[in-house]
Structure 1
Amino acid sequence: MDKAVRARLRALVCGTRRGRRDAGMVTSEYAMGIVATVGFAVLLYEVLTSDAVMALLQDIVRRALSAQM
């Protein structure tokens, strides 16, 4: 096999590459991901605890519990 092909195969198997500039997320990317996740969680919480959604969920549970078998 050619040396270049062997080097590429080794890099694929080992997960390394010569001169690789980006080895993963940096701290700022983690921070932005956490901020986005928390923002989405707050938005989801606000929607699920709104009066309209609460009434809808209570109606679904009420109908499920009163269903005839």
Structure 2
Amino acid sequence: MRLIRRRRHRDRGMSTVEYTLGTLAACAFAVILYKVITSPAVQNGLSAVLRKALTTAF
């Protein structure tokens, strides 16, 4: 019974670190995605795709 209690208490506080690292990773991914989407090459490509979709739809 003591062994189970020790194992349970040994992992206390890990969830805070895991949430922090997960949040940092998500923020880093968002920054990279923002940089990619706002790059001129990607913006020109998206504009071309949208223009083509709008002209062929009508």
When normalised by structure 2's length, the TM-score is: 0.74
Aligned length: 52
Mapping for residues 21-32 of structure 1, pairs under 5 Å: 21=8, 22=11, 26-32=15-21
Distance 2:53 2:39 in 1: 21
- 1:68–1:26 Cα change, 3 Å: closer
CA RMSD of aligned residues (A): 2.3
Cα distance in 1 between the residues matched to 2:19 and 2:48: 40
Residue of structure 2 equivalent to 1:47: 36
Aligned counterpart in structure 1 of residue 56 of structure 2, from 55, 59, 67:
67
Q: Which has the larger radius of gyration?
A: 1
Structure 2 gap segments, 5+ residues each: none
Alignment-derived partner of residue 3 in structure 1: none
* Bigger relative contact order, structure 1 or 2 (CA pairs below 8 A, ≥6 apart): 2
Unpaired runs of 5+ residues, structure 1, are: 1-18
